[in-house]
Amino acid sequence: MILSASAPESIAACAQRIRAGGLIGLPTETVYGLGADADNATAVAGIFSAKGRPADHPLIVHVAAHDGGRAGVAHFAATVPAFAQKLMAAFWPGPLTLILPRRHDVAAAAAGGQNSIGLRCPAHPAAQAVLHALQQPQGSDAPVWGIAAPSANRFGRVSPTTAAHVDSELGPDLLILDGGACDLGIESTIIDCTRGVPVLLRPGSIGRTQVEAACGCRLLSNEELLAQGAQGLEAKNAPKASGTLESHYAPNATVRLMDAKALQTALNLLDGTLPSAKGAAPTIAVYARTPFKNVPRTVALRTMPRDASAAAHELFAALRAFDDQGVKLIWVETPPDTPEWEGVRDRLQRASA
- 153 confidence band (pLDDT: 50, 70, 90): very high
Are 2-237 and 254-351 the same fold in CATH? no
Report d(CA 317, CA 300) in Å as an integer: 15
pLDDT at 85 over 50: yes
Q: Are 198 and 87 in contact (CB under 8 A)?
A: yes
Q: What is the pLDDT of residues 34-74, one digit of tens each?
A: 999 999 999 999 999 999 998 889 999 999 987 777 889 99
Report the greatest alpha carbon distance in the chain: 71
Q: Are 188 and 241 in contact (CB under 8 A)?
A: no
Q: In CATH, what class is 2-237?
A: alpha beta
Looking at residue 121, its pLDDT comes to 97
Report d(CA 124, CA 127) in Å as an integer: 5
Model pTM? 0.92
Q: Are 71 and 64 in contact (CB under 8 A)?
A: yes
Q: What is the pLDDT of residues 287-311, one digit of tens each?
A: 999 999 888 888 999 999 999 999 9
Looking at residue 3, its pLDDT comes to 94
Report d(CA 30, CA 342) in Å as an integer: 15
Q: What are phi and psi of 321, to 5 degrees?
A: -65, -40
Sorted by where each begins, the domain ranges of the chain are 2-237, 254-351
DSSP 237: G
Q: Are 153 and 176 in contact (CB under 8 A)?
A: no
Report d(CA 214, CA 59) in Å as an integer: 25
pLDDT at 234 over 90: no
Strand partners, 25: 34, 176
pLDDT at 215 over 90: yes
Sheet holding 189-192, edge to edge: 2-4, 175-178, 24-26, 33-37, 147-148, 60-62, 116-120, 96-101, 189-192, 199-202
Looking at residue 230, its pLDDT comes to 47
Q: Which residues are CB-contacts of 296 (< 8 A; sequence separation ≥ 6)?
A: 267, 270, 271, 274, 276
Looking at residue 233, its pLDDT comes to 47
Q: Which residues are CB-contacts of 258 (< 8 A; sequence separation ≥ 6)?
A: 266, 331, 332, 333, 334
Query: Integer distance in angstroms from the first to the last C-alpha of the chain?
Result: 34
Q: In CATH, what class is 254-351?
A: alpha beta
Q: Which residues are CB-contacts of 74 (< 8 A; sequence separation ≥ 6)?
A: none
